[in-house]
Amino acid sequence: MLQSTGLADYSVAGRLQQLGDALKVLAPSEDFGWINRAGWRLHSRAEPSKDLRTRLRAADEVFRLGVKLIKMAEQGDFRRTAERACLYRDGLTIAFLVMRPIRSRNLTSMTIGREVERRGADWWLCLGPETSKSGRPFEVRVR
Amino acid type, 58: A
Query: Looking at the DSSP assignment, which residues form a beta bridge with residue 123?
Result: 118, 142
The dihedral formed by the CA atoms of 100, 105, 111 and 117, expressed in degrees to the nearest 10: -40
The answer to whether 96 and 104 have CB atoms below 8 angstroms apart is no
Distance in angstroms (rounded) separating the CA atoms of residues 117 and 47: 44
pTM greater than 0.75 (yes/no): no
Sign of CA dihedral 23, 25, 31, 35: positive
Give the confidence band of 5 by pLDDT, cuts at 50, 70, 90.
low
How many residues in the chain? Answer: 143
Give the confidence band of 4 by pLDDT, cuts at 50, 70, 90.
low
Segment 79-108 mean pLDDT: 90
